[in-house]
Each structure stands twice: as C-alpha cells, then as structure tokens.
C-alpha cells in the first residue's frame, strides 16, 4: 500500500487560477534521466561497446561500473524530492545498455526498497543503448507496452539504426495513463544535417499519440526523453505542435512546461558554454487542466543539486559527468534529470 506524501499550500496557481485556501495534495512525480552510457563491462560482439570494457579506451572496470550504478541510484532516488519527500513514481531512462544494468540499478540498496518494476526492450541502436521505464509497483499497474521502431535511412540510403520509442499504458492510482519514453537521434554531424532524423522521430511520436487518442479521446499521455532538440525547435513546435502556455489549451493540444524553463535560460546539458534543454516532459492538455478527483500538473523542474555540478576546470558549472576530456572523474551524467509533479486534492 502506498503512503501519500502531503503538501500544504496556502497559495498556488494551476491553469492560471489562484486558489486562496489551504488544501492537502497527494503528489506523484514523473522523471526522466539520461544515464550517460550506463554499460556493463562485457564486450558484446554485436554492438559498438568496445570502449566500455576493461580492455577498452575507457578502461571500464567492474569498480568503475559499480561506482556508476551507485551514482545513478542515488540521483534517481532524489529527483524531485525537495517537494515530494520521496523518490519518483515513474522514471524514464535512456543511454543504458541492456536489462541487466537496469536490474542492477533497481536492486541497488538505495533503490531496492522502492520496489521498482522494469519495462525494457532491446533496441537496434548501433551502440547498443536502449530506453526503459521504471515504475513503483504500489503506484502504477502496466496493462500494455510496446517498443515501436524508428526506421531511418542516411543520405546513401542505408539503414541508420537508432533507439525505439517505448510506449507503456496502465493505471496510476486508479487513473489510466500512457507514457512514451524517447531518445531521439543525436546532432552528430551537425544540427542541420541531423535534423531530418529528429523530425522523423517526432512524426513517429505524433503517430503514437494520435493512435492512442483515436482509441480513447480522453487519454492522458505523457511523453518524455532526451529529444536532442530544444522546446522551440521544429520537431516540437511544428510536428508535435507543443504549446508552452496553459492559456487556451484545447483537448488535442500537447503542453510542454519545459518551454517556459528554456526561455528562462534553464538547461539540462551544456555544450561550448551554451545551455540546451534537450531533456523534456510534455503531455496532453487534459493533464494541464484542473479536474476534480484526478491528477493534474503542478510544476516542472530540472534537478540540479550542487553535487551534480562540476566545480572546477574546463567544465566548471556543467553537469558532473563520468568522463571529462577523456579522463575518468567518476561523476554522474552529462545531463541533469528533469521531472514534473502531478497533484490531486485529498480529503
């Protein structure tokens, strides 16, 4: 049985309406984290994982792997906790090699008592990296899941293998919810040259959302992932048609609270002294709008406590990553995690 965490607010704004009375709310947290190459130490002859082996360029030993699992478990247990006083209820993950490394995460003493379930499929990505979803078994009951392939071809008309998009449906505290976990193609080769790949990823994402809403027009859908695009880029604004304001949202709209954060200069990763907010969580309008006795969006954030920030050197102020400049520094990830809080009034 789950124990709700309560939050007492005298004044708060949801959907632009100021509520001036004290209420008690149950909070559920949905988070996403790019784990920055959580690989095991075993050489897989079918993928390009040679660097992340004991004999490889990164000298990826069991000790370093264990430290990485500890680091990731610590962060996952704390995302959004200043508000919720608990670990996230739903967590999307990317840049992980296989189910084994996810099991090592959920079985780590930091996370074991949280009793997370795992939904994972192997993707055809050339480096062997996948996406996955963790969920608290006491909170969410999966009823459907699928891994949908993103088919890409390069300029020479050869297949370009990348990550699948993971779709999970289920019941969250009695409410039907759907989650889509993404890791869209990178900007390798340049933003403009790689843009068509992310446009294709967005089209697949929209097709998934449209398919769900066709079957259930009132479906609540939350998409999340490392999109390798910012909230204002074409993949979000022109293909998914996300909106950055709750004003005048209609049922067919997607709301992206990360757009407001981005316009404030908040990012989840940095490159050449420029911040990007590639890690995003967006959702159908019915989650952004107030609804009696159901969960609704409260707030979004980038989780960046001081221990996740590099304090010195070339990457001062950046996320404290595992390797920097080719040297092992034993950090966390080159991305900060992101999250949203959903709240529901309780008696």
Average pLDDT, consecutive stretches of 10 residues, N- to C-terminus, the chain (347 residues): 37 38 86 98 92 95 98 98 96 98 98 98 94 98 97 83 97 97 95 96 98 95 98 98 93 96 98 95 95 93 98 94 94 98 91
What pLDDT does 16 receive? 38
- Tell me which residue of 328, 233, 340, 327 sits closest to 282, measured CA to CA: 340
3-state secondary structure of 240: helix
What pLDDT does 3 receive? 37
What pLDDT does 128 receive? 93
What pLDDT does 290 receive? 85
What pLDDT does 268 receive? 98
Tokens of 289: 């709008």
Tokens of 321: 């990553």
Phi and psi at 94, nearest 5°, equal -145, 170
What pLDDT does 21 receive? 54
What pLDDT does 291 receive? 82
3-state secondary structure of 279: strand
> Judging by beta carbons within 10 Å of its beta carbon (0-12, 13-18, 19+), is residue 30 exposed, middle or buried?
buried
What pLDDT does 246 receive? 92
| Helices 99-106, 62-78: crossing angle, 10 deg rounding | 60
What pLDDT does 165 receive? 98
What pLDDT does 157 receive? 78
What pLDDT does 347 receive? 73
């Amino acid at each position: 049985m789950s124990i709700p965490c309560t939050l007492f607010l005298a004044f708060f704004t949801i959907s632009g309406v100021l509520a001036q009375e004290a209420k008690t709310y149950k909070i559920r947290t949905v988070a996403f984290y790019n784990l920055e190459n959580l690989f095991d130490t075993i050489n897989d002859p079918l993928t390009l994982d040679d660097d992340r082996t004991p004999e490889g360029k990164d000298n990826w030993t069991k000790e370093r792997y264990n430290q990485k699992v500890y680091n990731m478990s610590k962060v996952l247990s704390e995302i959004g906790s200043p508000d919720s006083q608990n670990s996230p209820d739903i967590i999307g993950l990317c840049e992980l090699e296989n189910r084994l490394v996810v099991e090592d995460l959920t079985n780590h003493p930091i996370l074991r008592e949280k009793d997370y379930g795992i939904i994972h499929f192997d993707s055809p990505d050339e480096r062997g990296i996948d996406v996955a979803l963790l969920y608290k078994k006491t909170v969410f009951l999966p009823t459907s899941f699928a891994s949908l392939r993103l088919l890409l071809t390069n300029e020479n008309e050869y297949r370009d293998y990348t990550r699948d998009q993971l779709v999970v449906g289920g019941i969250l505290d009695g409410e039907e919810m759907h989650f889509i976990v993404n890791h869209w193609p990178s900007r390798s080769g340049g933003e403009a040259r790689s843009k068509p790949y992310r446009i294709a990823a967005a089209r697949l994402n929209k097709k998934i959302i449209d398919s769900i809403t066709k079957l259930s027009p009132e479906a609540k859908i939350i998409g999340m992932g490392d999109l390798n695009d910012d909230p204002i880029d074409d993949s979000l604004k022109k293909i998914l048609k996300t909106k950055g304001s709750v004003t005048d949202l209609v049922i067919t709209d997607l709301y992206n609270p990360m757009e407001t954060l981005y316009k404030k200069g908040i990012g989840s990763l940095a490159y050449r002294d420029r911040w990007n907010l590639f890690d995003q969580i967006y959702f159908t309008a019915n989650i952004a709008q107030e609804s009696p006795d159901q969960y609704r969006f409260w707030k979004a954030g980038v989780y960046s406590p001081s221990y996740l920030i590099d304090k010195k050197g070339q990457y001062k102020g950046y996320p404290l990553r595992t390797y920097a400049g080719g040297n092992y520094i034993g950090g966390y990830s080159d991305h900060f995690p992101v999250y949203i809080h959903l709240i529901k009034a309780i008696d």
